[in-house]
Each structure stands twice: as structure tokens, then as C-alpha cells.
């Protein structure tokens, strides 16, 4: 997929994803060694986006399986198109000499099978990115189904047979850790924790999304993120929420957060009642702004601005 680490690094950045060197190297090794990548970390930390960025960097497509409780094989692998099969039988039945045995074989061929994302990923001419998103939502039985795919790159489908991979996809598994992913899947994968970024990296991410704003503004957003995360909130803000905040400030025509803006910004900063109360504490918001300014000054100093 990638001929060098530098190519991957450049590709991720060009697609708007800022990864640290450990994440980039892990992705590179997983791609080279054809290992699935298991991403765990808080909501909004960039797990799903990393899969899309890798696909973008490799100039390939994404097959996405969105997991949920009660997901079944049909949804993941696919199923026979029964109305189409019925129609075919009706049409053939009209002709005088029907070879029922060959019709049976035909009806159970891939022509009559509507492929789901797992099967589509195996059938790509060129390796695609197979994103199995929020794997922690499924049960153990479904996890076991994935083992065959990830071990031998094939799928056994009743009545259709065993389908071998035409190309081996780059598999990204993501989890918010609501349920622990089993060890057999972990053993087969490389494991990457996707945490909140450092203030410097967050400033870069904000800069990518709001390129018209000043360097001070980007550092200010990163400083505020760091300050909020140091406040032991019930739901600390993720990168995506800081990006929302940056966009909101642009809409409001403001480049700076002041203590007076507390009530307007509260719905964007505190997402639980406990956190809202915390930010409403007397002097709470003002001291948060103070911390944020210190952190953003650090970011600016380190970047030499
Ligand atoms: N390193 C990064 N570089 C650029 N953008 C990022 C980065 N991390 C997060 N983002 C931004 O945050 C948004 C949310 O990320 P994403 O949807 O991938 O989070 P997630 O970890 O999958 O969250 P969830 O667990 O809720 O699904 C992305 O659309 C992207 O804009
Ligand atoms: Mg996600």
C-alpha cells in the first residue's frame, strides 16, 4: 500500500489527518505486514477518521461495517437476493425444458448474492481499507466470525462456498471499550491507543480546519482543550468538539474566549449536567481561561511564534 514511511506520512497529512510518529509507524507496519489495526480510545479522538485518511493516502476505497448490538452475518457478509431468485425461477419455468439441477446451481452463485462490506472488501481488485467500526458493540459470536476472515483471508458462506480474497484489505477495527474485545482478535492485530493529542498537535489539527484564522487562535483552542482536559470533567472534550468550538467562534466572529462568553459557550464545552455545574462555579470559568492562556502561550513559545 505504501512504499515508504515518508509516503504514508505525507499522504495522511495531505488528507488532513495529523498523526504522531508512533501512530504513523504502527499504520505503516500493519500495512506492510498485512496485520489488522485495533484502535481504542475515547469518542471523537480520530479513530474512524484515521481509517479514511489511510484510504485517502493509499488512493483506495473504504468498505465500512458499522457494528451495532444484534448485527448478524447477513448484514456483514451479505445474503441471497430472494426476490431476484424467485423472478429467475418464474422466468425459467416458462420455458419448455428446464434443467432444474443447473438452475439450482445458478441460483446459489454470486450473481444472486448481495455482498455485504466484508465480502466486498475481499473482492476488491486492489487492496481497500476495511473499516469495522465500533466492534465493542457486537457479541462474542460475531467476533468469532471475523477470526476466519482475519486469519486466512477467506469467508465460508453456506450454499455459496468458500470465497478467497482477491486482495488483502487493510483492516481497521475501532472500539470505545464498552465491551472488552477478545484476546484471539487482539493477538492477530496491532494495537494503537488513540488518545487526545498534545497541545502542539491539536493546534496543528485546528489550523488545518480553520486555515484563515491566526496562529494565536489555533494555539488558543489547543490551550483551552488542554485546560479543560486537566479539569477532571465527566466528559472531557475531544478533538472533534474543539474543532466544533473553533467553527462556532468563527461564526460568532470572535477569535478569543473571554470569561464573559461562558454562558454562550457552555453548550459546546460541557456535555453533562455535572460538567455544566462545574463550569458554572464561581470563578471556575475565569480560572479555566487563565489556565488555557498559559498553555496556549507555551504552544506559541515552542513553535517559535
Ligand atoms: N489527528 C487528527 N487529525 C485531524 N482531524 C482529527 C484528528 N483526530 C480527530 N480529528 C477530527 O475529529 C473528528 C472526529 O473523529 P472520529 O469520528 O474519527 O472520532 P472517533 O474516535 O471515531 O469517535 P467515536 O468513538 O465517537 O466514533 C474527525 O472528523 C476529524 O475532523
Ligand atoms: Mg468513530
Does 48 lie in the same domain as 9?
yes
In order, the DSSP letters of 50-71 are HHHHHHHHTT--EEEEE--TT-
For the chain, 305 residues long, give each residue's pLDDT as a single digit of tens.
999 999 999 999 999 999 999 999 999 999 999 999 999 999 999 999 999 999 999 999 999 999 999 999 999 999 999 999 999 999 988 887 888 888 999 999 999 999 999 999 999 999 999 999 999 999 888 998 899 899 899 999 999 999 999 999 999 999 999 999 999 999 999 999 999 999 999 999 999 999 999 999 999 999 999 999 998 899 999 999 999 999 999 999 998 888 888 899 999 999 999 999 988 987 788 889 999 999 999 999 998 76
Question: Is the CB–ligand 1 distance for residue 247 below 6 Å?
Answer: no
Where do runs of H (alpha helix) occur along 69-188? 73-77, 82-94, 100-107, 117-123, 140-152, 183-188
Question: Is residue 84 domain-resident?
Answer: no
Question: Is residue 102 domain-resident?
Answer: no
Burial of residue 204 (number of CB atoms within 10 Å: 0-12, 13-18, 19+): middle
Does 145 lie in the same domain as 49?
yes
Question: Is the CB–ligand 1 distance for residue 243 below 6 Å?
Answer: yes
Question: Is residue 93 domain-resident?
Answer: no
Does 147 lie in the same domain as 166?
yes
**Contacting residues for 241 by C-beta, under 8 A, at least 6 apart:** 44, 268, 269, 271
CB atoms within 10 A of CB 229: 16
Task: Quickly tell me which residue has 483551552 as its cell.
Answer: 224
Does 224 lie in the same domain as 243?
yes
Where do runs of H (alpha helix) occur along the chain? 5-14, 21-33, 47-57, 73-77, 82-94, 100-107, 117-123, 140-152, 183-188, 199-209, 215-229, 239-252, 262-269, 273-280, 284-302
Domain extent for 173: 5-79+109-193
Does 166 lie in the same domain as 72?
yes
Q: How far is the CA of 44 from the centre of ligand 2 (A)?
A: 7
Final residue in a domain of this structure, among 176, 193, 210: 193
Does 138 lie in the same domain as 17?
yes
Question: Is residue 44 domain-resident?
Answer: yes
Question: Is the CB–ligand 1 distance for residue 155 below 6 Å?
Answer: no
Question: Is the CB–ligand 1 distance for residue 192 below 6 Å?
Answer: no
The pLDDT of residue 259: 85
Cα–Cα distances (Å) from 61 to 4, 37, 104, 251, 252, in that order, read 20, 17, 34, 33, 37
Does 128 lie in the same domain as 214?
no
Does 9 lie in the same domain as 148?
yes
Does 75 lie in the same domain as 11?
yes
Q: How far is the CA of 56 from the centre of ligand 1 (A)?
A: 15
Question: Is the CB–ligand 1 distance for residue 226 below 6 Å?
Answer: no
Final residue in a domain of this structure, among 151, 173, 193: 193
The DSSP code for 39 is E
Query: What is the C-alpha separation between 107 and 211, in angstroms, rounded?
Result: 55
The residue whose CA has the least distance to atom 29 of ligand 1 is 49
Question: Is residue 159 domain-resident?
Answer: yes
The pLDDT of residue 303: 86
The pLDDT of residue 305: 64
Does 141 lie in the same domain as 247?
no
C-alpha distance across the termini of the chain, in Å: 37
Question: Is residue 71 domain-resident?
Answer: yes
Final residue in a domain of this structure, among 168, 193, 218: 193
Does 237 lie in the same domain as 189?
no
Question: Is residue 294 domain-resident?
Answer: yes
CATH code for the domain of 167: 3.40.50.300
The residue whose CA has the least distance to atom 26 of ligand 1 is 43
Does 281 lie in the same domain as 231?
yes
Q: For the chain, what is the domain count?
A: 2
Question: Is residue 103 domain-resident?
Answer: no
Amino acid at each position: 500500500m505504501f512504499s515508504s514511511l515518508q509516503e504514508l506520512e505525507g499522504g495522511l497529512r495531505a488528507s488532513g489527518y495529523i498523526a504522531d510518529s508512533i501512530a504513523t509507524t504502527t499504520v505503516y507496519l500493519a500495512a506492510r505486514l498485512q496485520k489488522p489495526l485495533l484502535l481504542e480510545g475515547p469518542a471523537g479522538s480520530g479513530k474512524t477518521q484515521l481509517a479514511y485518511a489511510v484510504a485517502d493516502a493509499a488512493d483506495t476505497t473504504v468498505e465500512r461495517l458499522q457494528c451495532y448490538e444484534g448485527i448478524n452475518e447477513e448484514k456483514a457478509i451479505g445474503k441471497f437476493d430472494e426476490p431476484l431468485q424467485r423472478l429467475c425461477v418464474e422466468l425459467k419455468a416458462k420455458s419448455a425444458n428446464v434443467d432444474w439441477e443447473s438452475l439450482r446451481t445458478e441460483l446459489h452463485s454470486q450473481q444472486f448474492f448481495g455482498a455485504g462490506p466484508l465480502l466486498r472488501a475481499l473482492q476488491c481488485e486492489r487492496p481497500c481499507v476495511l473499516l469495522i467500526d465500533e466492534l465493542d458493540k457486537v457479541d462474542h459470536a460475531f467476533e468469532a466470525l471475523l477470526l476466519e476472515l482475519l486469519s486466512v483471508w477467506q469467508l465460508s458462506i453456506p450454499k455459496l462456498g468458500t470465497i478467497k480474497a482477491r486482495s488483502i484489505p487493510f483492516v481497521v477495527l475501532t472500539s470505545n471499550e464498552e465491551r472488552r474485545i477478545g484476546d484471539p482478535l487482539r493477538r492477530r492485530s496491532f494495537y494503537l491507543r488513540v488518545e487526545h493529542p498534545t497541545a502542539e498537535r491539536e493546534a496543528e489539527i485546528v489550523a488545518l480546519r480553520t486555515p484563515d484564522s491566526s496562529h494565536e487562535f489555533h494555539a488558543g483552542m489547543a490551550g483551552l482543550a488542554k485546560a479543560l482536559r486537566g479539569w477532571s470533567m465527566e466528559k472531557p472534550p475531544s478533538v472533534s468538539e474543539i474543532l466544533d468550538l473553533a467553527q462556532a467562534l468563527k461564526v460568532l466572529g470572535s477569535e478569543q474566549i473571554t470569561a464573559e462568553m461562558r454562558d454562550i459557550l457552555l453548550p459546546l464545552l460541557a456535555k453533562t449536567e455535572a460538567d455544566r455545574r462545574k463550569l458554572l462555579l464561581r470563578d471556575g470559568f475565569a480560572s479555566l481561561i487563565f489556565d488555557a492562556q498559559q498553555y496556549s502561550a507555551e504552544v506559541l513559545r515552542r513553535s517559535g511564534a
